Amino acid sequence: MMIDKTKLKDLFLKYIAIDTQSNPDSSTYPSTEKQKHFALKLVEELKAMGISNAVMDEYGYVMASIPANTTKPIPTVGFIAHVDTAPDADGACLNPQIIENYDGKDIALDASKNIWLRPGDFPELLDYKGKTIICTDGSTLLGADDKAGIAEIMTAMQYIMQHPEIEHGKIAIGFTPDEEIGCGVNYFNVEKFGADYAYTIDGGRIGELEYENFNGAEAKISIHGRNLHPGYSKNKMINSQLIAMELHSLLPCGQRPELTEGYEGFFLLMKSTGTIEETDMIYIIRDHDRGKFEEKKQLINGICRFLNEKYGENTVVCTLKDQYYNMREKVEDVMFIVDIAKKAMLASGVEPLIVPIRGGTDGARLSYMGLPCPNIFAGGHNFHGKHEYVVLESMVKATEVIVNIVKEYALIKK
């Protein structure tokens, strides 16, 4: 299989130059109109390659399909990626760096601001000596999460359209908005998408194959204090900021993202703003194990009850909301779809690396909506920050894996 590396690179560079950041504070869906602008461009490109049924709906979802070219009863397989980039930094990467034949040395993103990609900080860089690394100039996200996945799906579909000798069943294609703010499939129509099984192309390093993810919840906490002149406040003032600090100190100090790995869960303080009178906090709670996940939620509720007993009723108000659950519960019943992905990787010369996702994907929620949906590598690293980079050769392999999955599905019966 000969995937055109230069065309794939050019397509990716075109995509990352387009700003598609989502906005967690928006009340619209999708959260930003610019995601729709990009989605419409993808519809045009799909139609240009001969996929005439491509369409974007009112919510910004792009759906399309390639009809089967055989009468065999082959399951419909889908491929999904998200159009938005994270709100953490500017999303339009206009000045990417292309480091060909990487020599294993430090890469200056913006030396004037002391922003570097160093193997000392990111040792996995050394795995890519001799490869082509695409990175930022230190001022924006790269956007490989998930425009690498989009470019790979588009390139794979183009390859399949140009090679009618590849026997395949119906292939579904989907691009979603707002994945980065946890709303990627709020209005996704699984029935309309029409796939029996699907894969998100939204993973990281080459070989990653994921069918386990965190159970996730968000805790919004409001703390109500009492303010008055500090010179006359003895036994009267209640400083909400200090209660917030006390609350945080009662959480397990070792269960933070920077101290955990693998299957270890955590509490993460995402945001805290406050005055003496009012403090608002947002935590996310994560754990792969459903039982431990529930225990974490009970703990944070228990801490809030304790503080209310200490400082007065409704001093601390906690609103907990589940965000998604571990897709393993749904994928385990159809593990052959993971085995197919393994075979597709091996056929591309890629060693499968089965790891739990320390996060969530659209596929997690889709699995609970009736569409089992593991996640496959797209080739990027250091998502959500200015140190983000992608390896072009990994992108080529991801594209090959998509095509090989299509071929593998042609070998099984519906």
Q: Is 193 helix (H, G, I), strand (E, B) or coil?
A: helix
Return the structure tokens found at 252.
């397990």
Cα(22)–Cα(329) distance, integer angstroms: 29
* Cβ atoms of 84 and 33 closer than 8 Å: no
Name the active-site residue from 145, 179, 287, 408. Answer: 179
Reported as type and span, the H/E element at residue 22 is none
95 token code pair: 């000045």
> 205, 232, 211, 201: which is closest to 380 by C-alpha?
205
Residue from 15, 124, 5 nearest 395 by CA: 5
Residue 245, H or E segment? helix 240-249
- DSSP secondary structure code for residue 194 in this structure: -
Residue among 19, 84, 180, 202 flagged as catalytic: 84
Q: Is 84 a catalytic residue?
A: yes
Q: What's the half-sphere exposure (Cβ side, CA atoms, 13 Å) at 53?
A: 12
Which residues are paired to 108 by β-bridges?
Answer: 116
DSSP codes joined into one string, 129-192:
TTS-EEE--SSS---HHHHHHHHHHHHHHHHHHH-TTS----EEEEEES-GGGT-TTTT--HHH
For the chain, the maximum distance between any two Cα atoms, rounded to a whole number of angstroms, is 85
179 is catalytic: yes
Token pair recorded at residue 402: 């998509």
DSSP category for residue 213? B
Give the DSSP per-residue string, 290-357.
HHHHHHHHHHHHHHHHHHHHHH-TTSEEEEEEEEE--THHHHGGGTHHHHHHHHHHHHTT---EE--B
User: Which residue numbers are catalytic?
Assistant: 84, 179
